[in-house]
Structure 1
Amino acid sequence: MKEKEMTLQNKEGLHARAAAIFVRCANGFSSDINLKAHGDTVNGKSIIGIMSLGAYSGEKITIQADGPDEVEAVDSLAKLIEENFEM
């Protein structure tokens, strides 16, 4: 399993657009992907799950991936967050 903790820097946090972009990217990988924030863990391929975290700007989140492409998955998702979900 690969994981990376990050701080959300974009103004709106994991709002609908950011969550949709995250899910679109996550679904491109075969690994299981989870997202953790304030003690809760959700499926990183579920927009409803991600939005239910209510993660705001400045909060720490952890990306976890487990599977054959886990390194690439975490790296790609981390890059999305670092670039404030700009594609």
Structure 2
Amino acid sequence: MYEEKFVVDNAEGLHARPASKLVELAGKYESKVEVVYKGKAVNAKSILAIMGAGIYSGSEVLLRVEGPDEQAASAELSEYMSNLPD
């Protein structure tokens, strides 16, 4: 299992555009991908789950990846989370 903390450092947080890109990237992998915010884990392959979490700019989140391709998934998703677009 891979876990890494990130601070959402773009201007608007995980709103529609960055959330949909996260869902697109996570969906490429077989591994289970979750974003944990305020103690609640949400499915990073679901736009409704991500948007419903209400993750704003400055929020600390934990990215959790577990499964057969977790190494490749965590590398790509970590890069994305480190450089979130506005």
Q: Which residue of 2 aligns with 1:17?
A: 17
Cα distance, 1:85 vs. partner? 3.4
SS in 2 for 1:35: strand
How is 1:1-87 mapped onto 2 (pairs within 5 angstroms)? Answer: 1-85=1-85
Give the structure-1-normalised TM-score: 0.92
- Output the aligned Cα RMSD: 1.2
SS in 1 for 2:34: strand
| Structure 1 runs of 4+ with >2 Å offset | none
SS in 1 for 2:4: strand
Give the structure-2-normalised TM-score: 0.93
Between the aligned partners of 2:85 and 2:41, the Cα distance in structure 1 is 20
Deviations 1:32-77 (A, max 9, x none): 1111011111111000001111011111111111111112212211
Q: Aligned partner of 1:66: which letter? A: E
Tell me the matched-pair count.
86
Q: Aligned partner of 1:24: which letter? A: E
